[in-house]
Chains A and B, each alone.
Chain A
Amino acid sequence: METVIEIQGLTKTYGTVKALDGLTLSIPRGGVYGILGPNGAGKSTLFRTLLGLIRPTEGTATVMGGRIGDPAATRRMGSMIETPRFPPFMTARQVLVWLSHAHGGVPAAEIEAWLTRVGLAEAANRRVRGFSVGMLQRLGVAAALMTKPDLVILDEPTSGMDPPGIQEMRALIRSLADNDGVTVILASHQLQEVQRVCDRVAIFNKGKVITEGRVSDLTASGERLRLSVTPLAKAMALLGDRASLDGDALMAAVPRAEAAAVIRALVEGGVDIDEARWVGADLEDVFMSETGWTGVKSVSVTGASVQGGDYAG
């Protein structure tokens, strides 16, 4: 497998806090690679290290074949780390021209094309001091991509964007990987977004990778058998701690190889089965299980839905 990033034992400490703790990771060329983890897991520290903004305390890493911080390697990368900021007296177009000069120049027509592609054509002559967070994100994405990089690092690229903007961004990221052959590394707390757009993910916790793999493999390992049965209580008793409730249905955490035996046992135990089908786990389940996050995924509070939970890791 050809890789764009090779990390060996990377550690970054701030005082007594280990932001990265002997991290080892290989990121393959091509596709969209997701980096997930709770706040403080080390995602942003990793990105800053790969971009040469900070120096690791220990360990080595190569990016596009060059050592980290090597200008020849970083010039082949595009990045947007958190919400970007720009000189407030410049317009959106001027920001792109300014950054393109530092990189050796980008033709004016391409800058215009990027302004259009990220939806800022009408705001191109407006000073960025009046931009919303979503507009700054769009401009940051254009700045990251206009130099036609081989590798793009996007840290929370949809933060502050409205739903249509999020959809456009998702399509843009997929298109970069599928049509332009760009490797995209994406960090996001929007797990559904990551599941839709990423090919592979690594889940971080406390500066380490705790699991890594193809999204389809990770979610398949958590798939469960969804059964519509009567009587429900009898089925629950027969399956014991392998069963949980999902509305009126029963979710059985059993491997595919044992499914037939489980169904037979239920039928022989006097349970009628109206429907049985496999349901894949979503990335949120995998994330919560791997990071030790417990509690509710969503709670209804006087009609409003809020995210909540306790971190037990």
Chain B
Amino acid sequence: MLADALKSEAYRLSKNRVAVFCSVLLTPLLFAFGGLFYHIMVKSKGDALAAKANLPAAVGNQPVNLAESFEFAASNGANGVLLVFMLLAAAAVYAGDYRWETWRLISARNGRPWLLLGKIGVMKVLAMIAMLAMLVAAFAFHLSEALVAGRPISFDLSDFELGRFLLLWLLSYIRIVQYGLIALLAAVVSRSLLAALFVPWALGFAQSILGGPLLPLIGWEPSDWAAQLLLPGLAYDSLKAAVAPAGQPLPEGVVLKAIVSLILWSLVPVLAAIAWFQRQDLSKE
């Protein structure tokens, strides 16, 4: 039953070319071409300034290490631009059956929980593909840097730590999936595509404000249970800091609280959405 739901949802999403392009390809393409533009600008401006000041070329001749792309992609996998565009696909997958009035067609063919879990599974696969596309874009970024500046290319893995890379990758992945799960809950409760799009976005924006400058003003410390549990963005940042190579020391217990927070934010929206969906009147679409 779950396999059928996954196959069905994946097939439909594969035909929604706008959603797939925006969620998987747009951000990596923007990043890769933006990087090319940036390197050309740096090169031309740098050369012009150096010529004016009668100095050697501004950009040095050190090799560009393509292996740095791994860590770059892992730690920036859940960047804001990607999250926003991933929400387009999440809204289409989670709220599409309400918008297109197709629940009455599909819900009689499979169990309700399986249908929602199928959607979640498809979004998880999509998030992984988007991150892999970001990895390719990171390679393109470094490659264009080398080609534009005429610098040699190297692939030096001496600073690469597989464990750190995998942890950063996992954290970014969880972050993307969590945004999608908030979209799922918003879609099921509101039956609205716009709510699925904007509720996670608004929640993310509120978290970035509350977890940053406003945190001391509301009397919370980053190590507080309340701060970690209510602000998954803060939990994500705490764990990222813990994994960083030159990691700053974190208050005791923060890592555990952050892990609990991420687990809860991964489970509660799913369970709440399924519970709500089980009792929902699907004739009102």
Contact = CB atoms under 8 A, between A and B. Distances in A.
A272 to B, nearest CB: 61
Interface in B8-49: 8, 11-12, 15-18
Contacts of A143: 105
The list of the 3 closest CB pairs from A to B, nearest first, reads: A102-B8, A101-B8, A85-B101
A81 B18 CA distance: 29
A103 B100 CA distance: 19
A196 interface: no
Nearest to B108: A74
A87 B108 contact: no
Which of A86, A94, A99 counts the most chain B CB atoms within 10 A? A99
Interface in B233-271: none
B92 to A, nearest CB: 9
Contact of B16 (A71, A75, A89, A102): A89
A48 to B, nearest CB: 4
B100 A88 contact: yes
B283 A98 contact: no
A54 B283 contact: yes
Interface string B104-121: 111111110001000000
B283 A53 contact: yes
A87 B16 contact: yes
Given A48-B283, A55-B279, A101-B11, 8 more contacts: A53-B103, A53-B281, A84-B105, A85-B100, A87-B100, A94-B15, A98-B11, A104-B4
B16 A52 contact: no
Contact of B106 (A55, A81, A88, A102): A102
Interface residues of B, number: 29
Contacts of B100: 85-88
Contacts of A101: 4, 7-8, 11
Nearest to B99: A87
Contacts of A90: 12, 15
Nearest to A73: B108
A126 B273 CA distance: 35
B79 interface: no
Which of A54, A98, A99, A103 counts the most chain B CB atoms within 10 A? A98
A212 to B, nearest CB: 25
B281 A102 contact: no
Given A86-B102, A98-B11, A103 B279 contact: no
B150 interface: no
B136 interface: no
Contacts of B66: none
A53 B8 contact: no
Contacts of B282: 53-54
B127 interface: no
Nearest to B7: A101
Nearest to B10: A101
A53 B4 contact: no
B162 interface: no
Interface string A82-112: 0011111110001001110111110000000
B104 A98 contact: no
Contacts of A77: 108
Contacts of A52: 107-108
Contacts of B283: 44, 48, 53-54, 81
